[in-house]
Structure 1
Amino acid sequence: MYSATTDKALTCVDCNQEFSFTVSEQQFYADRQFSEPRRCPACRAIRKASRGDSGNSNYAGGDYGTSRGYDRGPREMFSATCASCGREAQVPFRPSGAKPVYCSDCFSTQRRSY
């Protein structure tokens, strides 16, 4: 369990101003496994407004399958060697080597076995 006892002073990557990362904010971020904020609250608000992101606009009305207002474009893919059959596979994450990576066929087989 995470337990911060003092506020942290962080420096904003946009405006280079120091801002306080409070104990309660640290707990909130730790509980959700978020990394520390890189921007001060003012720069975060400016960045959010410039994206036209109202916080939950992509999920209005249960329409989860469309890109309402924000489209990330094509997903970056990474090459990996399948841990089961040895074929090269393209995966949507950077393999760390800590866990096995499977091609789509072997992944489907592995998934059905559970």
Structure 2
Amino acid sequence: MSFQTKSIPCCDCGVNFEFSATEQEFYQSKGFVNDPKRCPTCRTARKTERGGNTGNSTSYNNIYVPRQMYPAVCSDCGKSTQVPFEPRNGKPVYCSDCYRKVSANR
């Protein structure tokens, strides 16, 4: 399929931006079916606004704060561990090794 550069109006700022043939090929290779709605500047601003999350930290205005961990005792093996949530009475808490075993059996 042959692509040609398109001029698209940004849905945020209204400025027309170019959606190049190379970018269109990239979008197709990723399985994206829609053209971008935002210009590169607005796209970057939106990503920054939403922040990045690596799983072990939280972003506040691009300052990454380590995730709060809580001490716990594994309900299966009794090993001391830390979990990213506050344990509640009556709910089982597992160390990472036991959690893998328990979740594999579901």
Name the larger-Rg structure.
2
Give me the TM-score of the superposition, normalised by structure 2.
0.48
TM-score, with length taken from structure 1:
0.45
